[in-house]
Amino acid sequence: MNSTRRNFIKTASVLAAGTLLPADLISGTGKAVPPSDRINIGLIGVRSQGFSDLSSFLKNKEVQCVAMSDIDSNLLESRTADIVKLGYEKPKLYGDYRKMLENKDIDVVIIGTPDHWHCLQFVDSLEAGKHIYVEKPIGNSIAEINIMNNAARKHGKIVQVGQWQRSQPHFVDAINYLKSGKLGRIRTCKAWSYVDWKGAVPKVPDAPVPAGVNYDMWLGPAPKRPFNMNRFHFTWRWYWEYGNGLMTDWGVHLIDYILYGMGKSIPASVMAIGGKYAFPDDDMVTPDTMTAVYDFNDFTMIWEHTIGIGLGNWKRPHGMSYIGENGTLVLDRNGWEVFPEKQKIEAVPVQKNVGNGQDLHARNFLDCLENNTPDKLNAGIEVGRRVALVAQMGNVAYRTGEKVSWDDAKQQFKTETANKLITPVYNNGYKLPGY
């Protein structure tokens, strides 16, 4: 067998890590990449974040997009035109991602669909022998999160979760400062998202399915219901059947760094309050205002989100803070800084972001794939599972109105009311994968 990049990638596995590619096959040598050494990508979900992910991958010369799948043929044609305009070859197009997965040329699948589809597409991609870059949150329920983690372990493919802040240099620098101990004992952490760019979702009547859209395929395992534009492109995330609101949309990015920085994964308990306080009569179902308090026994983490207000903590629309006895570190996508507590430590002025985190995250995945070093992934499947679980716990506390506690050994809550929200009901003939 020829020692080509593609032969190597086909057999790359977290179960057989450690083998390195010959140096002349790794990108960055300045040589043209022959077709036999290219990494072929198939994209599922082309409208927004999925295409953004693909764009980051295509900045690497060894990558080519050979296939795209979407339930909206209009989007497929539009994105194909975008790719051709950039000088790339036209990819094969599929209305059903399962047909796309039969394409043996595909090495890597990017999953950029609504959350309620992630689990099925993830498992199907693994069973088709593909490596995966999956958008966050990895699943739309706790059961799906665990199924995806189990499936990834069984199939042994390289999996990166799209929590790209893990690859952003100034986030790494901030955590290094945190771990220096200069802040002293940390008793409270905060994470927040204030989104003034989003307003109400006015109620609109059900309507005919737009031309070119396979609506039944879009619904997938979600409950059958008439087409409504509010529950379609982008705004699907404000309905429990398809997404989990701002808690998982923004929360998994921000809460992730609290867990990472503090070295914790499972809180002792969670309480949450909130509701539709800004737009009580609009069509959105998930809360526009919410506060969740997580008790980790030796510190608390507070999550806040509001829609329609943009001035968040420390005048930052989004961010995280680690509040220590000597000072507070505040961090967001633009930079980080330290505020002293009574001059116990020196202030640190804003350390600005350098580099594109999403591009760096794609490069990290490619490096791990090319070198078969899954241990160097910045956001592997377990990272995605941990934060998705914690975010889901906050939503379960909100939806039940209870203070909830998680039994990690049994992988369930300690109350039956909360346990009823662990496993989704799949509809329309779809079955929850058995992993």
pLDDT tens per residue, range 162-215: 999 999 999 999 999 999 999 999 999 999 999 999 999 999 999 999 999 999
pLDDT tens per residue, range 202-220: 999 999 999 999 999 999 9
pTM, full prediction: 0.93
Give me the domains of the chain, ranges plus CATH numbers.
5-166+359-380 (3.40.50.720), 169-353+386-419 (3.30.360.10)
Q: What are phi and psi of 65, to 5 degrees?
A: -95, 115
Contact of 148 with 286, CB cutoff 8 Å: no
Helices (H) and strands (E) in the chain, counts: 13, 16
3-state secondary structure of 386: helix
Q: Does the pLDDT at position 34 exceed 60?
A: yes
CA 349 to CA 329: how far, in whole Å? 11
pLDDT tens per residue, range 68-123: 999 999 999 999 999 999 999 999 999 999 999 999 999 999 999 999 999 999 99
3-state secondary structure of 319: strand
- What confidence score (pLDDT) does residue 14 get? 63
Mean pLDDT for all residues in the chain: 93
Mean pLDDT to the nearest integer, 258-287: 97
Mean pLDDT to the nearest integer, 354-360: 95
Q: What are phi and psi of 208, to 5 degrees?
A: -60, 150
| Radius of gyration in angstroms for the set of CA atoms belonging to the chain, rounded to a whole number | 22
CA 131 to CA 129: how far, in whole Å? 7
- What confidence score (pLDDT) does residue 5 get? 63
CA 293 to CA 273: how far, in whole Å? 9
pLDDT tens per residue, range 377-412: 999 999 999 999 999 999 999 999 999 999 999 999
- What confidence score (pLDDT) does residue 250 get? 95
pLDDT, greater one: 29 or 311:
311
Q: Does the pLDDT at position 252 exceed 50?
A: yes
